[in-house]
Amino acid sequence: MAQTLDGKKIAFLLTDGVEQVELTHPWQAVKDAGGTPVLISPKDDSVQGMNGDTEEGDTFPVDVKLADAKPEDYASLVIPGGVVNADTLRTEQAAVAFAKAFFDAKKPVASICHGPWLLIEAGVVEGRKLTSYPSLQTDLKNAGATWVDETVVVDQGLTTSRNPDDLEAFSAKVVEEAAEGQHEGQHA
């Protein structure tokens, strides 16, 4: 039976430099499951998507400025990758706090590719098993995570994947975990 999100709002946190397909694929999966994806950004107009990290893609309108976003309004959080996107977000204290709030509330969080850099900054990876783009493995291990080279990893409500090749599995888990809701065993 297909998972349904029954109109749940799903936060997508990103900024310029986002890997476009890592935004659009799970975004469509959320819509297809009846959810409402919401693009949240430190920017207030639009964000520049990228195909890879060097070729400009489409621009995407910001739905809610990060300063106005409230984690309690969303069922789960998705953090797409892209080197510039992830590196910029991890330096934004409001983005770090927004992501950490989902862990504190035991809500599902999904992050792909370079997105886990934000999770390191939020201090939520220690003791967790996860994956990412391979170049982050040392950063994640140094932050106390167990890094594995797998398509998709779910650990107490945290879903992670490596790259755009993993999007089918990643997007399915984004929907599944958001449909399940809060995870009692999840810890920050």
Active-site amino acid positions: 113-114
DSSP state letter for 61: E
Of 171, 186, 174, 36, whose CA–CA distance to 106 is shortest?
Answer: 186
Distance CA 42, CA 46 (A): 10
- Sheet (strand 46-51) strand order: 18-19, 46-51, 55-61
Distance CA 56, CA 27 (A): 19
